[in-house]
Amino acid sequence: MSTFDEEWAKMLRGEQYDAIHPEFLRRLEATRDRLWEFNMMKPSQIDEQRAIIRELLGSHGERFHINQPFRCDYGCNVHIGEDFFANFNLTILDEAEVRIGDHAFIGPNVSIYTACHPLDAAERNTGAEWALPVTIGDSVWIGGGAIILPGVTIGNNVVIGAGAVVTRDVPDNTVVAGNPARIIKHL
């Protein structure tokens, strides 16, 4: 069995890794415990909420707000810019890095995924997994219920329509919508 540090490095490089290594499971549990605390706080406990988010995330701007509930896998692979806002029920599966620029506005029930699994059932059942990073530029508005899939890069000044499933890169200054998301307007 590889060491955890070797498996973690493979995960961050986008290589196949052993997702059921005991240390991955321990870290997932520790993050979930902290998120449980965050999600159970009174909405008025803003300072306490921000303290937990600052502890969990890899990096963040000074001004941000994340409505409860919020879910992520590790947190340390999530990087948010300045003036970040996320509405209720943001989910980020951050096996790879998720980088979100300044002035991001994320609607309710948005999901951002980096984890990938083999199509072959026998291989998938071994715990094999890999992850691809997601990058979201500055001044992006992601509408409610949108899903961002692994490996996607979203440019600057983009609007993602409510319910969109973003399966490929999105250029700057565009509005995309649908499943799969496609450009419907240039800004």
Among the listed residues 60, 65, 103, 117, the single catalytic one is 117
Query: Catalytic site residue 60?
Result: no
- The Cα 56–Cα 61 span in angstroms is 13
Chain CA centroid to CA 62, Å:
19
Domains and CATH numbers, the chain: 4-186 (2.160.10.10)
Identify whether the C-beta of residue 155 lies closer than 8 Å to the C-beta of residue 137: yes
Residue 25, number of CB atoms within 10 A of its CB? 12
Angle, nearest 10°, between helix axes 22-40 and 4-13?
70
The reported pLDDT for the residue numbered 111 is 98
N residues, the chain: 187
**Which residues, listed in sequence order, are joined to residue 148 by a DSSP beta bridge?**
112, 166
- The Cα 20–Cα 77 span in angstroms is 18
Give whole-number Cα distances, 152 to 66, 131, 166, in Å. Answer: 22, 11, 7
DSSP secondary structure letter of residue 67: P
Q: Are strands 128-131 and 17-18 parallel, antiparallel or unpaired?
A: antiparallel
The reported pLDDT for the residue numbered 150 is 98
Identify whether the C-beta of residue 151 lies closer than 8 Å to the C-beta of residue 169: no
- The Cα 62–Cα 79 span in angstroms is 12
**Strand, helix or coil at 66?**
strand
Q: With CA atoms as reference, report the closest residue to 187 among 147, 161, 149, 159.
A: 159
Q: What is the pLDDT along the chain (187 residues), one digit of tens a residue?
A: 579 999 999 999 999 999 999 999 999 999 999 999 999 999 999 999 999 999 999 999 999 999 999 999 999 999 999 999 999 999 999 999 999 999 999 999 999 999 999 999 999 999 999 999 999 999 999 999 999 999 999 999 999 999 999 999 999 999 999 999 999 999 9
